[in-house]
A and B are shown apart, each in its own frame.
Chain A
Amino acid sequence: DSGVTQTPKHLITATGQRVTLRCSPRSGDLSVYWYQQSLDQGLQFLIQYYNGEERAKGNILERFSAQQFPDLHSELNLSSLELGDSALYFCASSTPGLAGVISKPYNEQFFGPGTRLTVL
């Protein structure tokens, strides 16, 4: 158990719908990352939040958005869902270094168990 929790475990919905995935980071971790794992695209970094602020963006679609709340949990919102959005969505957490400072020691990203999204 990594200490990162994700809900729900499974989600089945229809095209055009909107869903929200939830992530609770490990206690003390300030940073949350979202990743998508699909057969077509493999494992892709979507977005990173640090202490409530967006820190980095990866290959996140405009239909997707995320936020991190004051209690540090995060939500990933997926809208206008398409068949190709079916994937396993991972959340990870860590406490990265400050901007401009090399992180020593390395702050490992701990992955949650993922949410399996199926779009029919």
Chain B
Amino acid sequence: AQTVTQSQPEMSVQEAETVTLSCTYDTSENNYYLFWYKQPPSRQMILVIRQEAYKQQNATENRFSVNFQKAAKSFSLKISDSQLGDTAMYFCASSILGGGADGLTFGKGTHLIIQP
């Protein structure tokens, strides 16, 4: 079984600042994926970034990057130069890699508010 924990229910930063969202996870699997999903007020689920556990290099997508610490089972999301459109719920998630059965396990989410 996999568990994902997000300990920050809500965060607020000023526009253009850098913010880091925390996530820890637990799994008995050797091969797995980790994700950050964004859910804006429209409720649409949008994949922000993903990390394969077997890759040591941290994933990066434009202003979004992760700090993946496999031994510590930590997977934080850094948003640089934050924008008003980044205001949303952010969910950390995991899934088993391979096997074809890959339902996502989500954390409780962090509500990120970008202030103008």
A residues with CB within 8 A of B: 2, 31, 33, 35, 42-45, 47-48, 50, 55-56, 58, 88, 90, 92, 94, 96-103, 106, 108-109, 111, 113-114
Contacts and interface: CB of A to CB of B under 8 A. Distances in A.
Contacts of A111: 44-46
B31 interface: yes
Contacts of A58: 103
A100 B101 contact: no
Could you say which interface size class chain B belongs to? 20 to 34
8 contacts: A33-B103, A43-B93, A43-B104, A45-B105, A47-B103, A97-B98, A103-B97, A111-B44
A102 B101 contact: no
B92 to A, nearest CB: 11
A42 B50 contact: no
B99 interface: yes
B33 A100 contact: no
Leading 4 A-B pairs by shortest Cβ distance: A45-B103, A56-B101, A102-B98, A111-B45
A100 B91 contact: no
Contacts of B43: 88, 113-114
Nearest to A94: B102
B52 interface: yes
A39 to B, nearest CB: 11
Contacts of B107: 42
Given A43-B91, A90-B45, A113-B43, A102 B97 contact: yes
